[in-house]
Amino acid sequence: MNLLHHLNPPQKEAVLHGEGPLLILAGAGSGKTRVIVHRIAHLIKELGIPPWQILAVTFTNKAAGEMRERVEKLVGPGEAPLIATFHSACVRILRREIQRLGYDPNFAIYDDKDSEKLLKEVVAELHLDEKRFPAKMFSSAIDECKNAGLLPGDLPTSDYMQEKIAQVYTAYQARLQKCNAVDFGDLILLTVRLFDEHPEVLRHYQDRFRWILVDEYQDTNPVQYRLVKLLAGSLRNLCVVGDDDQSIYRWRGADIRNILDFEQDFPGVKVVKLEQNYRSTRTILTAAGSVVARNRGRKPKTLWTDNPLGEKIVYRRLTDERDEARFVSREIERHVRKGGDLRDVAVFYRTNAQSRVLEDALVADGIPYRMVGAVRFYERLEIKDILAYLKVLDNPADEISLKRIINTPARGIGHATVDKVGELAAARGITLYEALREASSGGLLGAGPRGKLAAFGALMENFRILAGAVSLAELASRLIQETGYADRLKGERTPEADDRLANLQELLSALEEFDRSSGEKGLSAFLEQVALVSDLERSDAGVEAATFMTLHSAKGLEFPLVFIVGMEERLFPHVRALDDPHQMEEERRLCYVGMTRAKERLFLTNARRRRIFGQEQFNSPSRFFDDIPREFLDLEEERQGAGSSQWGTFGRFSQGSHDTDRHNLAAIFETEIEPDFPEVEVVPDEAEDAVYLGMKVRHGKFGVGTIRKVEGEGDNQKVIVWFNTVGPKKLLVRFAGLERV
């Protein structure tokens, strides 16, 4: 197979580049992944590089998975190199080497919640006032430090606050180490520290990974950059791919300078620009480009496309957010009526709070949707509880998990008891788990608590023995039963408790699957996957439903039909960005990312009036409209033949005089639109035999319910179902996938 066959000249150039640093500036929709995948295949198949000498790094598991799949298609199954996220690549290294830094190889990985809990304890121990020094503040400060690659000793102690942060950071790290745990930031930072402090280890990995590729390079933070630079060493076979215009994670420590200054940092670098877009219509691409073109800190580039001009971008200013949602819902319905597929539709918003009213509207119209990044499976209470048991079995030093389960379900071990054991542990310099055993025999506690601790200790010891003997699914199943966790939930007899039980069942299925596919890799491996993957691969990706997500999670995706809602000043761009030019540039990039997700049709909407935190707001249209050439927009007023001449002034506004101009523009954008989209009139029809009043049905999302009303017939038939969990829902029978119970 000819690897170069379907590549354009710059793509070929990037694929064929040999040794030495390579920077690929890949605009939106320019075939970036295609280039990386082909480059990897080229290294292996043409240059004869052994796959194990190649390391490809991405930011998400999803991206890594996709890339691996595509590489395997080119080089054959099992022949792909290590393609991993930054975090999982680091875990791999740390599992082998972390003893050099004073941790055990079975270290736990704390998520944000776990580490904040630990931080709270640290703040309390240092007798700091929680009001003046909230744990959250330290949490983000420490996170920033870790992103920047700073150890506690690197912090300036000039002012009081800095000093406190350094103090808490130091104590926090000590506590983490005592728990034999690391947080997300540590995964990267400890790896860098390992390389700094143990040059021979670094040399080993430099020798191993001779070819390195980094995807989404614009999102790397300074430690990640340092890590990459260390690994690339003197061979400098480093290929980074990114787009400065799509850098939207500055607030999380991503440093856009990593990509802007790459050429200075790696003299002699080969730079390839991928500027042909294969995704969007010319209208969409040009409009998006004009929004981001206003930014100062960007690499000059011009995206172009051979695609047709396509339809105009629809702009609508609606009365309020509910009206806006109904508009979206109606347009989606129209798309479906024309024979369109719901999987082609995505709705993006700036803040999660906006999703709710959209959900309501789609539910009311019976249009199925799925929300990306909503409640994560592994973050559910009951799942975290059972996982905490597993974590203690795997790593008894894990104090946070131990404290979580010691009285869950309730077994009469209160705070006072735990505190006493904690003091004992501190005094003896042993772990809480070890102190447990001592306290359950010594004279520290009264007979009651002592007995309860002893019982808990015995329970855990039994499970530890069991853990070595049975499968993970079996272990967890017995854990759920024998700790009384299941009984407690069953006793509640509420829909919520039933949900929880169902979730636990799902956890068991995930464990079974892991037992089957991973070949006895064991508890540590499973917990690691949980920590790093954060969500269960849900099989609903192929379900016919519209997709809702924040603009941030939209990066890397594409849809034929895209809605961006809430295009208003103070919402998008967000209020917090209004007085910070750097943040404003990021908002612009975010807008660019959102718009360039659309392949064929783009809808931009906003609301004149919006309730935010119970407050009415009247926001003018987003300033991003200032930069979209007027001829690319479909405004309703145009159809009515009004006001088009006013558009001559469009686009001339300078950033400096924004506020007054804003009002002019707002006036221009006030378009005559039906204030309301009334509910569809429907004729009840009870003769239909597929569904009937009073029928008990099950819905994939809402569970079991009873049909209270049937409306319409054929494709448009709707039912109102009274669900046990969520109450009444109106559903389109065709889509609801109702199952008779």
Partner DNA sequence: CGGCTAGTCATTTTT
Partner DNA sequence: TGACTAGCCG
| Piece of 148-156, 339-347, 405-413, 477-485 that binds DNA (CB under 7 A) | 405-413
Q: CA–CA separation, 624 vs 295, rounded Å?
A: 12
What's the closest the beta carbon of residue 465 comes to DNA, in angstroms?
Answer: 26
Q: CA–CA separation, 150 vs 165, rounded Å?
A: 12
- The tokens for 468 are 């070595």
Pick one of 33, 471, 583, 671: the residue that binds DNA (CB under 7 A).
583
Considering the rule CB under 7 A, would residue 219 count as an interface residue with DNA? yes
Q: CA–CA separation, 673 vs 320, rounded Å?
A: 12
What's the closest the beta carbon of residue 448 comes to DNA, in angstroms?
Answer: 12
Binders in 477-536 for DNA, by CB under 7 A:
532-535
Q: CA–CA separation, 577 vs 158, rounded Å?
A: 29
Pick one of 18, 76, 199, 414: the residue that binds DNA (CB under 7 A).
414
What's the closest the beta carbon of residue 239 comes to DNA, in angstroms?
Answer: 19
| Piece of 152-160, 164-172, 423-431, 574-582 that binds DNA (CB under 7 A) | 574-582
Pick one of 208, 252, 516, 538: the residue that binds DNA (CB under 7 A).
252
Cα-based angle 138, 141, 144 (whole degrees, multiple of 5): 150
What's the closest the beta carbon of residue 592 comes to DNA, in angstroms?
Answer: 14
Q: CA–CA separation, 227 vs 89, rounded Å?
A: 11
Pick one of 254, 313, 392, 405: the residue that binds DNA (CB under 7 A).
254
Pick one of 236, 411, 630, 662: the residue that binds DNA (CB under 7 A).
411
What's the closest the beta carbon of residue 565 comes to DNA, in angstroms?
Answer: 13
CB closer to DNA out of 219 and 243 = 219
CB closer to DNA out of 305 and 619 = 619
Three-class secondary structure of residue 635 per DSSP: strand
What's the closest the beta carbon of residue 124 comes to DNA, in angstroms?
Answer: 10
User: Which DSSP state fits 304?
Assistant: B
CB closer to DNA out of 18 and 412 = 412
What's the closest the beta carbon of residue 450 comes to DNA, in angstroms?
Answer: 15
β-bridge mates for residue 561, sequence order: 345, 601
CB closer to DNA out of 184 and 632 = 184
CB closer to DNA out of 299 and 411 = 411
Token pair 């509640």: residue:
492
User: Which DSSP state fits 730?
Assistant: E
Considering the rule CB under 7 A, would residue 87 count as an interface residue with DNA? yes
What's the closest the beta carbon of residue 189 comes to DNA, in angstroms?
Answer: 12
| Piece of 419-427, 513-521, 562-570, 609-617 that binds DNA (CB under 7 A) | 609-617
User: CA–CA distance from 400 to each of 123, 125, 404, 455, 598 (Å)?
Assistant: 15, 15, 6, 20, 44
Three-class secondary structure of residue 705 per DSSP: strand
Considering the rule CB under 7 A, would residue 59 count as an interface residue with DNA? yes
Binding-site residue total for DNA (CB under 7 A)? 46
Pick one of 51, 152, 373, 643: the residue that binds DNA (CB under 7 A).
373
Considering the rule CB under 7 A, would residue 92 count as an interface residue with DNA? no
Pick one of 60, 471, 524, 671: the residue that binds DNA (CB under 7 A).
60
CB 363, CB 723: distance < 8 Å? no
CB closer to DNA out of 381 and 683 = 381
Pick one of 214, 285, 577, 731: the residue that binds DNA (CB under 7 A).
577
User: With 0-12 CB in 10 A as exposed, 13-18 as middle and 19+ as buried, what is 169?
Assistant: buried
Binders in 533-562 for DNA, by CB under 7 A:
533-535, 549-550, 552-553, 555
User: CA–CA distance from 345 to each of 326, 358, 563, 603, 633 (Å)?
Assistant: 15, 14, 8, 11, 20
Pick one of 85, 180, 307, 596: the residue that binds DNA (CB under 7 A).
85
CB closer to DNA out of 32 and 601 = 32
User: In 281-320, which ranges are continuous DSSP H helix?
Assistant: 282-292
What's the closest the beta carbon of residue 723 comes to DNA, in angstroms?
Answer: 17
Helix (H) or strand (E) holding 170: helix 160-178
What's the closest the beta carbon of residue 537 comes to DNA, in angstroms?
Answer: 11
Considering the rule CB under 7 A, would residue 381 count as an interface residue with DNA? no
Binders in 314-353 for DNA, by CB under 7 A:
350-353
CB closer to DNA out of 4 and 541 = 541
User: CA–CA distance from 13 to each of 16, 268, 270, 452 (Å)?
Assistant: 5, 16, 10, 69
**Whole-number CA gyration radius for the chain:** 28
Residue 199 burial (CB count, 10 A) = 10
Pick one of 190, 227, 328, 413: the residue that binds DNA (CB under 7 A).
413
CB closer to DNA out of 184 and 526 = 184
DSSP 118-166: HHHHHHHHTT--TTTS-HHHHHHHHHHHHHHT--GGGS--SSHHHHHHH
Residue 293 CA neighbour count, 13 Å, CB half: 15
Pick one of 268, 339, 614, 648: the residue that binds DNA (CB under 7 A).
614
CB closer to DNA out of 243 and 333 = 243
Give rounded-to-5 percent helix, strand, coil for the chain: 50, 15, 30
Considering the rule CB under 7 A, would residue 251 count as an interface residue with DNA? yes
| Piece of 60-68, 397-405, 477-485, 631-639 that binds DNA (CB under 7 A) | 60-68
β-bridge mates for residue 606, sequence order: 317
Q: Which residues are catalytic?
A: 32-33, 215-216, 246, 597
Helix (H) or strand (E) holding 214: strand 211-214
Helix (H) or strand (E) holding 57: strand 54-58
Pick one of 19, 46, 125, 130: the residue that binds DNA (CB under 7 A).
130
CB closer to DNA out of 62 and 698 = 62
User: Which DSSP state fits 60?
Assistant: S
| Piece of 248-256, 317-325, 463-471, 510-518 that binds DNA (CB under 7 A) | 248-256
For 382-435, where are the E strands, in sequence order? none
Binders in 166-195 for DNA, by CB under 7 A:
184
Binders in 672-701 for DNA, by CB under 7 A:
none
- The tokens for 84 are 């991993």
CB 451, CB 459: distance < 8 Å? no
Considering the rule CB under 7 A, would residue 312 count as an interface residue with DNA? no
CB closer to DNA out of 242 and 712 = 242
Binders in 616-655 for DNA, by CB under 7 A:
none
Q: CA–CA separation, 223 vs 71, rounded Å?
A: 28
User: With 0-12 CB in 10 A as exposed, 13-18 as middle and 19+ as buried, what is 242?
Assistant: buried
What's the closest the beta carbon of residue 130 comes to DNA, in angstroms?
Answer: 7
Q: CA–CA separation, 22 vs 30, rounded Å?
A: 17
Pick one of 11, 30, 61, 290: the residue that binds DNA (CB under 7 A).
61
Q: CA–CA separation, 565 vs 585, rounded Å?
A: 19
What's the closest the beta carbon of residue 350 comes to DNA, in angstroms?
Answer: 7
Pick one of 409, 422, 484, 495: the residue that binds DNA (CB under 7 A).
409
CB closer to DNA out of 398 and 600 = 398
The four Cα atoms 490, 491, 496, 500 give a dihedral, to 10 degrees, of -30
Considering the rule CB under 7 A, would residue 415 count as an interface residue with DNA? yes
Footprint on this chain of DNA (rule: CB under 7 A): 59-62, 85, 87-88, 112, 130, 184, 216, 219, 249, 251-252, 254, 350-353, 373, 407, 409-415, 532-535, 549-550, 552-553, 555, 574, 576-577, 583, 587, 611, 613-614
